Amino acid sequence: MANLTQTALNLTLEEKIDLCEGKNFWETKDHPEHGIPSMFMCDGPHGLRKQEEGGDHLGVHRSRTATCFPTAVSTACSWDEDLLGKIGAAIAEEAADQGVGVLLGPGLNINNPLCGRNFEYFSEDPYLAGKLTASFVKGIQKNGIGACLKHFACNSQEYRRFTSDSVIDERTLREIYLTAFEIAVREGKPKTVMCAYNKINGVYCSDNEELLTRILREEWGFDGLVMTDWGAMNDRVAAFRAGCDLNMPGGSGYMKKEVMDAVARGELDEKDIDRSVGRVLKMVMDAREALKEKATCDYDAHHELARIAAEQSAVLLKNDDNILPVKEGQKIAIVGDMAGEMRYQGTGSSHINPIRLVNPADVLTGTASVEEADVVIVFAGLTPDYESEGFDRDNMTMPPEHIKLIEDSAAKNPNTVVVLFCGAPVETPWVDKVKAVLYMGLPGQAGGEAVKNLLYGKANPSGKLAETWPKEYKDCPSSGYYGPQDAQYREGLYVGYRYYDKANVEPRWRFGYGLSYTRFEYSNANIEGERVSVTVTNAGDCEGAEVVQLYVCPPQDGIYRPLRELKRFTKVKLQPVESVEVSFVLDERCFAVWDDGWKVPSGTYTILVGGNPDSLITAGTIEKTGISIKIPEWQPGSWYENPVGAPSQEEWERMLGRKFTPRVAKKGEYTLNDTIMDMKEHSFVMKAFYFALKKYISRGAKPGTPEFRMMIESSAGSPLRSLQITGGLKPNLVKGLLEMANGRFFGGLKLMSKNNQG
């Protein structure tokens, strides 16, 4: 550390500021004259995406081959911390093999059914998401490669993600949206955290001192580096004060002059920059040490791990008449294009170029046309144009042709099995017409082998849903207000199963639900102090794994709270007739709410355990006394005590404690935080710029494809300041365009004609 301090002291102010911005799209800035090397980082939530030429943050340009593991929406369904640790370690081995010092992942924002990037996130439940992430991070970092948690925080939508404001109350922020990050930071100890594009209650995450310093560093003990998402920097002066260390990508010199001027005027303490310099140096030097020796990397073994992960993460949602597993000798029919081209990963910055790819049709052979088969297997799901980084889904429906395929097959043969590939819940109006449903999520490069093993019983499904599947999107409390520019977190604590339980709305499949080819029985549930134990027995005739879940049911006495919340879980593997005692130790946080700190309200707390959310058993109760929390006068009788449908804006504002008025971009008042899309309707210059941008993008992505839509949304939909950072536009060019958009054409020309190096 002393050497790092001395290195920092040897740098000029300008060199320090330069060091806190990347060298290019993926590398940090080097200073060879001071012995400071550059470091390569790349995307990697479910595999390595190293781009050595033509870098981009949207997954459009080609990358080196790497193992494509199942995405987070799949591996979360494994509920297996050990498995996530192994996947993290394997990806880190490939990172070391390819000279990558920091992996930009995992993502752990809370799931929302329509979020286009839902496939990259673990769960609707912060405890499950946090525990799996912590294990994944520890696996990545055990040999020195760095992990980067993202996107911190409240990044639950893709639409207008660069400029949206996440409007949220303090309890919801703390109990739901920050809890996953807190667990991952405290237990996983990641080397880096990536701040999100969006604002939280009016403050951009890159500028948010409360978020990045007081909460992340001082409260949770994070001692690593904070970097921006690519193009997420807002005000670099404010960001240094807030504790945002590294502006990515590099090469633009964004606000370098403003930072130097702020130091000269005494408005920014150089010590704030020094702190960031120290964190950058530590990250780079740690990576150099980790990459010093050539890593051993077994890509074949990683393919096998990807297969195991896909098998362990699959969820058997329905299995009438035990139609699965398929019996040897049965004639099967294979239906659907996804048999030959399965959907195995999402679109965007996490897109992996797989080392090998095994589709179901590569390993399965149909032996009968549909009417004559003993079992019909339909492969269906969401196509890439339905879910992607850069845009959100319009609804929860599947492609009409996939629905028709399922219904036609079921009409011809009642023994129809559906294998689903999708990165988010979908509506399943056809479910009563089929015998079985096997949800694969987005299973990675070995998904085809995993499907075969699961269908034929070589592998026993053991996954449990990590998010609720409603019958229809209209059943979601957020369905009435999700999607405008500013993200309104009106449902408060009632996210996912917390809402369906409290509102008594029956979903299609509950959070924590999943079937097996064997069955498990629970007995001897008991509580001694803060220790809860239960005996689990495999009462079936084949080996299987079971996820044991523990829920705390708080008192419903006026403080609005969910009926139950997941607080502990584990996964056990059992042979037929084998039993095991599972025990959990609870702590005060299991019972706490946020009220200017974590506090445990008095009352009787019931503890439920089991493997199926529809048949949990009561282990007993725990009494908590001594703390009383004041209830706001307006709360009794409100939607937050009796949620039905969606809360009104008025009720939500009463919970927020303030009025909410979304900002609307206005002609003549545009700023660097406004987008080409905002301005093109009122500015001829921006309209021309927009069409020129579309033409440019069409050279690399075909119009009408998800890649094209994603690139349009991520360029024309990003603020001018982001275009300056990621697109290499000169400051005076950007400012000149802004002047023109505001109706000051000649003033804009004058700016653009100036030296653009300023």
* 8 Å CB contact between 601 and 555: yes
Cα-trace Rg, the chain: 26
SS (H, E, C) 549-598: EEEEECCCCCCCCCCCEEEEEEEEEECCCCEEEEEEECCHHHHCEECCCE
Straight-line distance from the first to the last Cα atom of the chain, in angstroms, rounded to the nearest whole number: 35
* 8 Å CB contact between 352 and 68: yes
Residue 439, classed as helix, strand or coil, is strand
Q: Which of 97, 229, 272, 674 is catalytic?
A: 229
Q: Is the previous residue joined to 106 through a cis bond, with omega within 30 degrees of 0?
A: yes
d(CA 457, CA 541): 12
432, two tokens: 């009563």
Alpha-helix residue ranges (DSSP H) falling in 10-42: 13-19
Active site residue 229: yes
Residue 13, CA distances (Å) to 101, 247, 250, 756 in order:
26, 16, 17, 22
Closest CA to 410 of 373, 366, 358, 450: 373
Closest CA to 100 of 15, 18, 26, 201: 26
d(CA 656, CA 577): 53
* 8 Å CB contact between 176 and 126: yes
Residue 481, CA distances (Å) to 392, 492, 638, 649, 680 in order:
14, 13, 18, 10, 25
Phi-psi region of 529 (alpha: psi -120 to 50; beta: other; left: phi over 0): left
Residues tagged active-site: 229
